[in-house]
Homo-oligomer: A and B are copies of this chain.
């Protein structure tokens, strides 16, 4: 259902840590070791499409790694407004390093398989293995950086730029090449709530992209990447 982003033909779960910037102190051997240690304490969980994994405010008793499917992390306002803060793809860790309560709600966008790790054991592992802690820290930093881009997008970019950016992200993270169809599928509402737009605006921009032959839209609303460079040009703004 989902393709794994740029990864060696690995079985579930992906056997590597997410690619992160050069971290000289962490050798591949060490990485594998860490992964093994983690594997010891994880439990596989299945979640149906649309189900809530945890709510904002719940005590953060587990950390997770997504194996397959798509998850959204979002924030809700009392009047129903919603902002999606992050989409999670297979291989992604989430809810690590939460202080005490979850600061976001996690929901399954599709049927999902994930591995849950008791927070307590993660903490212990962190104490025992500095390299693991180091790695989560790096993950946090990366997250922060992505957040900066998201802020810029919501604060300063047009609807066209936003939609183009999201599509690029989706094609990127699912390893979709030109002329391939996006494996991951999400509703227009999800796109809109990630982009700070309405469903209708997302639709209109997608229609425009279709007319411009940058993406294809099938009868079942599946998206095909037709012209990556064209899309990149539309997302523009990148720096």
Contacts known (A100-B22, A148-B104); A82 close to B156, Cβ less than 8 A: yes
Rounded to whole angstroms, the CA-CA distance of A21 and B99 in the bound complex is 8
Nearest chain B CB to A202 CB, angstrom units: 13
A154 proximal to B (CB < 8 A): yes
CB-CB under 8 A from A9, the residues of chain B are none
**Contact A85–B151 (Cβ < 8 Å):** yes
Q: Residues of A at under 8 Å CB distance from B? A: 21-23, 75-79, 81-83, 85, 97-100, 103-104, 127, 130, 133, 137-138, 140-145, 147-152, 154-157, 193, 195-196, 237, 239
> Residue A151 contacts which of B76, B83, B138, B144 (CB distance < 8 angstroms)?
B83
- Name 11 extra pairs, CB < 8 A, besides A77-B237, A154-B196: A75-B148, A75-B149, A75-B152, A77-B156, A78-B239, A79-B237, A83-B155, A99-B141, A133-B133, A144-B147, A155-B193
Residues on B with C-beta less than 8 A from A151 are 75, 83, 85, 147, 150-151, 154
Instruction: Point out the residues of chain B lying under 8 angstroms from A142, CB to CB.
Output: 99
Cross-chain contact A155 with B237 (CB below 8 angstroms): no
Docked pose: A150 CA to B196 CA in angstroms: 12
Q: How far is the CA of A65 from the CA of B152 in the complex (A)?
A: 25
Q: Is the CB of A81 within 8 A of B156?
A: yes
